[in-house]
Chains A and B, each alone.
Chain A
Amino acid sequence: MKPAAFTYHRPASLDEVLALFAKYGDDAKLLAGGQSMGPMMNLRMVQPEHIIDISRIEGYDEIKVEGGNLVVGALARHHDVANSSLVKDSCPVLAQAAGTVGHYAIRQRGTLGGSLAHADPAAQLPLVAVLLNADIEVTSAAETRSIPARDFFVSIMTTALEPDQMVTNVKFPCIVLGEGWGFHLFTRRAGDFAIVTVAATVTLDGNGKVSDLRLVLGGTGPVPMALLDLAEAFKGRLPDVEWVNELTNAAAKATDPDDDPRIPAEYRRDLVRTLLARALADCVSRCQEGQI
């Protein structure tokens, strides 16, 4: 299908973008990589009156480390995030996740800010942002402020963004030495939307017990689920088989996924158990090997 007609704007600077966005608000959509909005427009699921093309705004695709955070510009493309040595060294779970988004050609154009603002419940990058509770910097003509990722995702394809705000940068806390991480997803075919995605980080103390634990599940609800209370309850123990079994069962039980005839709720819960066990095993082995 073909998209509906729209008025095209390609402002040269962020200030001009924000002025247009302030003017048109809900009638305008930002276009960056177009890998989610393109299909939605072609299928006429969205018919914006104004398209503001931000893909050539300079300075918002940078990747840098600043004071314990990996700062990634909203226009950074998934392929560049996945292959950046800075990302691999300082926040490898993000690099791993970015390399699983869609397909090779899709990752060349899709952007971090686009993925976060689109907020597909199956998407990988919102999941990592929630895992690490990244600071999402949003900018409007009036102000720039940060929203913690755990407050940013409101519901399916719904975020805390106001109609005139755009995501400009994202600060991911770096994975530190001694912190193990894991990321696993299941898709029916390579590059499909994942049915379930999980990510975790584990830190072990001198006695080999879990001193810190972060968990997040995707595909089990409208937004990535951080399971904060559950993670707290499973600290202080050795990460043995029993711990993994109890934790993965508790995590599966904490979810209430859609009971779709094609993907029954129990199937998603089973995927949670399996994928989380794999992710936790990766976390623990990375901790023990002392690799980031």
Chain B
Amino acid sequence: MDGSGKISIALKVNGDSHEVMVAPRKLLSDVLREDLRLTGTHVGCEQGVCGACTVLVDGRPARSCLTFAVQMDGLNITTIEGFNREDGYSPLQQALHEEHGLQCGFCTPGIITTFEAYLVENPDPTEAEVREALSGNLCRCTGYQNIVKGILKAARVMRGGSSGEAVAQ
């Protein structure tokens, strides 16, 4: 801790290590966006409701607006930027793209981070299960239909099955 009350922490984000000086009250969402310039994590409500700021902490989804960065010292954070692949999109990103599972895109990073974890835990979800899990991410554009379609398609692709017609793309 220095004179300003800031604390030095080691943040591991998307596999990269960062030394950051943070005030304890600084939210993880703000440290990601302001200190690390990882602006893919979106901040909507700052009270845990909208899900836009969801990141993974040691592989599990967490609201970065309900998390203080100081708590994350030494833990592995994955943000939306962490799902980029050299060869393009992840299967979930690709399926959302194909199914038009986004319009303005504000909620999309939270949906992708949540379901990258969810589909690992539950690789073959029913539509009802997807909708239940998706209830934690507010989208004000799409009406969710195409997001659900995209997630179900991604699940099929990730299981190694056919994604239907879109596989050819």
Contact = CB atoms under 8 A, between A and B. Distances in A.
Interface string A30-70: 01001100110011000000010101000000000000000
B133 interface: yes
A34 B66 contact: yes
A39 B66 contact: yes
Interface in A6-30: 6-8, 10
A247 B128 CA distance: 33
Given A8-B24, A51-B24, A190-B135, A105 B62 contact: yes
B138 to A, nearest CB: 10
A177 interface: no
B136 A38 contact: no
B25 A6 contact: yes
A106 B65 CA distance: 12
Interface stretch (B47-55, B78-86, B149-157): B47-55
Interface residues of A, number: 30
B118 A104 contact: yes
Nearest to A51: B24
Contacts of A34: 66-68, 71
B12 interface: no
A123 B137 CA distance: 21
B108 interface: no
A104 B133 contact: yes
User: In the complex, which of the residues B47, B51, B66, B131 has the most CB atoms of chain A within 10 Å of its own CB atom?
Assistant: B66
Given A2-B30, A34-B67, 20 more contacts: A2-B46, A3-B25, A5-B5, A6-B25, A8-B70, A35-B48, A35-B63, A38-B63, A38-B65, A38-B66, A42-B27, A53-B70, A103-B136, A103-B137, A104-B114, A104-B133, A109-B60, A109-B67, A190-B135, A191-B135
Interface of A: 1-8, 10, 31, 34-35, 38-39, 42-43, 51, 53, 55, 79, 102-106, 108-109, 189-191
17 contacts: A2-B25, A2-B46, A7-B24, A34-B66, A34-B71, A38-B48, A42-B46, A42-B47, A42-B65, A53-B71, A102-B136, A103-B136, A104-B114, A104-B133, A105-B136, A108-B61, A109-B66
Interface of B: 5, 7, 23-25, 27, 30, 46-48, 51, 54, 57, 60-63, 65-68, 70-71, 73, 114, 118, 131-133, 135-137
